Amino acid sequence: NVLRGQIKLHKRIYSANFLHQFNTQELLAGYDLHNDAYIQLYQLSGEFIMICELKAKSHALPTSRIDEREIKRSADAIKRKEKHIAEDKARAALSHVININEVDLVNELTAEPTLALTEQPPMTMHINLNDLNDIDEQQTHDIQPDLNELLAPVADEQHPQVTTLNDLLEHDDTQLIEEATYEIF
């Protein structure tokens, strides 16, 4: 069957100019066993229509259909031989019966005593997080502005809409964000 101007034959897709005219029609295909680069299309009555060229195929498929069949044949032979090996192993296992009671007795006699580990409480360390802070409290108070400073009115000619220091800092932050360049990975 021709679908969307393409024909799929033996895991290969073929196409040709004006093949879409035969969409949904059933046609006969003639192919070469040694070369899969093209196929010939015929009407069901046997009338030649056109030659279609190979458009796409799986990389695992060889160009010759004969080589493809040989690969499949050897894979099937391997499967058959593996099945025979499994049957032979099953037959050999039937003659070799093991008594479970004897195995348990042997395991008990040969087992070495194991030393069980005793449960121990986890090792803990008491750490004061304030000891890890290198900045003393006086420096931190100098760095952080007071709330009254942030809300104090500011006179700025460059930013007339800004009325407080907090608004000015917020305006500068939004400007930096807008000017920043971003990359998507």
Report pLDDT digits (tens) over 42-100: 888 888 888 888 887 776 666 777 778 888 899 999 999 999 998 888 888 777 767 77
Which domain range does residue 32 map to?
Answer: 6-57
Tell me, yes or no, whether 114 lies in a domain. Answer: no
Tokens of 143: 């760095």
Tell me, yes or no, whether 32 lies in a domain. Answer: yes
pTM: predicted TM-score of the whole model, two decimal places: 0.35
Tell me, yes or no, whether 75 lies in a domain. Answer: no
